[in-house]
Structure 1
């Protein structure tokens, strides 16, 4: 069933005074404690929000300074974390009781108000604070498309503390347009799929052989980390303000890089007549890429978001597919042999058939094939399904019949 809403996130820094900073910091600490209390009480037998809330609510209210709504949100976040643990366990992944260490706090429409003058009112452990949003001077800044369009409705958001600054990850939603509903239909008729694999060395690799390097993102990430480290050692007020400027520059630069990457992926899809773009699922990206930093994981989600909303204009559907074994399975037409030793870093060589290719390209092909098979299964027809084309760097693959893959 098609999701009724389109959902997006706009990250914006807040302008806060020293007094407001202290209240927000205290609220984050109390919220983190509340989430952990709820997880401690619910683990491992309780995971639904409706069960965790009555179990932990009174304790959170008694032992923290959180207001009633934030206490409820803390129980809900604990429930979601425990549910995620159950899902990872069902996939054979190791898991343990959730630990809440991130400097974040969740806000909803009861605990946050957005005003027309681009200020927000946030509930804290001691009343509310009203802070201004630090927005781009130019009207083409991506936040403006949500703030200036009445179709977008503010939903649950997250406040994050980073390097002495506070960032509000504002959640927005709007109803899907008819055009978007058509693009979202899971039909394989005349379908052509572009697979996209994500990584650190290569930010994205497509099944057509397009490589988008992650080198520039990693380079600037390291540069900004060095600057922050040097400023932290100084410890002056000037250094604190300079760190905030570094954070703004980093976000701006990374956003530009990700827009360029999304444009390249969409250009590749258009050139090859693709009706669908398949990304690997981002849910367990931390486990699959343990060496990826938070900047990389943020970049993966932003890239997917940018491609998704830009693809609507071309009627291209963008989806995620579970990446199980896509990096270990041989993508050669007549093989499909799966073994963890097939991959060695950036190289892939099948132990069975000897097929040798770049590992990220092999994974991108497998992602495309998996999604093409899903599309076939979703298409109900008397002839047992239609064929789905997968363009490659040379030639193509066709998924047809009962899910078989043949050279194009």
Structure 2
């Protein structure tokens, strides 16, 4: 039987004794100091991002000066190399944007060695940590310690039953409550899902005013309002602005405590929404929003931007659609479902009743959809969700006929490069024939309101 693999992260709280907390503090600080040391070595060697080169240059110094175990010393070099690769990518992107006239600012991320501040350690399963009867066996500078842990009951069940295979982990320290956590990557194997196992097809339209609007082919609709997240984001922005103006030591302490709260709030809301969307035995259609920020209209920034424009820019940059879609994706697998991305083009402009596609179908880009051709009226986000659901249903039918699950089936388009503009145009032409009502449906899909 074929199986599919899904990786999730389990957050385990470490219940440490005073001596054990001291040992973890010692090893985490040594690891952080080693990261900063290797960062300087990489900077002095032409800002290299090669982990192998860094290991040759700094491995023995890490072992001698910071007394880290062998595997952790290797992890330091890999982590620094990955950080420099990310910075080099940003440098190249900035260079392209400057040539294209998108920005005049030069990216300064590599002007000095990046500094590591967080008290974290990357660990390898079997070498640096392992699960034992007493809890978790963790490596320190003074040898191994065994500590008890607690966490989400589903994650604990996967670990104790052996249904999940531990991969890597990271020791994470939160200064606010002075607690150490272990973030463990768990790999779960699930049997491959067949088209006949899918009992429900749905489409999800994501946005800012409504975090998600979901509908299935049986017209079961759910709206998930984003008003609370926008209100909370505005609240945090006002607090930050006020504290930054003060600039006192107490204000800086408050800013430090405030950091991360908005991110954690958004993640919590996205978890709640994705849990409701990822129903069992479903094929869930999501919009492919790759490069969505680059595809949106140019925005005024800096002094040229009005107060209203600045507020809109802040809302757009804080839009966490990618996180929400990733949560839906991995929760779907756990519920014997699948999430697939389909083309997002014209989902909010195409009429699901007659197929007419026009920007004019969205008057003033508001929440009301009014078809210029047939006069069909509906909530604009629900129209987008319906179009996504129909495209997902078409993918399911292609899956049943070809045996391959793909939003871009090459054997149907007849083109070798399914990512080409020609192949995309062929897919969109098929989508234009889809109808939500049975009376006007062509040969592809038909289901009634």
If the length of structure 1 is used for normalisation, what is the TM-score? 0.59
Pick one of 175, 187, 202 that aligns with 1:194. 202
- 1:174 is matched with which residue? 188
Displacement of 1:206: 0.7
Contact 1:204 1:211 in 2 (8 A): yes
CA RMSD of the aligned region, Å? 5.9
Displacement of 1:328: 5.7
Alignment partners' CA distance in 2, 1:175 and 1:147: 13
Displacement of 1:31: 4.1
Alignment partners' CA distance in 2, 1:116 and 1:128: 18
For each residue in 1:92-136, what CA deviation from the matched residue of structure 2 results, as whole angstroms up to 9, or x when unmatched? 9x998988788465433233333333335156xx56675846525
- 1:135 is matched with which residue? 150
1:158-169 to structure 2, matched below 5 A, reads 158-164=170-176, 166-169=180-183
- 1:11 is matched with which residue? 11
Which structure has the greater CA radius of gyration?
A: 2
Alignment partners' CA distance in 2, 1:78 and 1:304: 29
For each residue in 1:253-294, what CA deviation from the matched residue of structure 2 results, as whole angstroms up to 9, or x when unmatched? 976x66754564356xx7xxx741223458878989853377
Contact 2:5 2:188 in 1 (8 A): yes
Displacement of 1:86: 9.9
1:207–1:324 CA distance, 2 compared to 1 (3 A): same
Contact 2:347 2:383 in 1 (8 A): yes
**Residue 9 of structure 1: SS of its match in structure 2?**
strand
1:44-59 to structure 2, matched below 5 A, reads 52-59=50-57
Displacement of 1:197: 2.7
Name structure 1 gaps, 5 residues minimum: 43-51
Contact 1:112 1:121 in 2 (8 A): yes
Contact 1:279 1:367 in 2 (8 A): yes
- 1:277 is matched with which residue? 284
Alignment partners' CA distance in 2, 1:218 and 1:197: 18
The question of 1:320 aligning with 2:340 is answered yes
Contact 1:107 1:158 in 2 (8 A): yes
Displacement of 1:57: 3.4
Displacement of 1:301: 3.6
1:167–1:216 CA distance, 2 compared to 1 (3 A): farther
The question of 1:210 aligning with 2:210 is answered no
- 1:112 is matched with which residue? 129
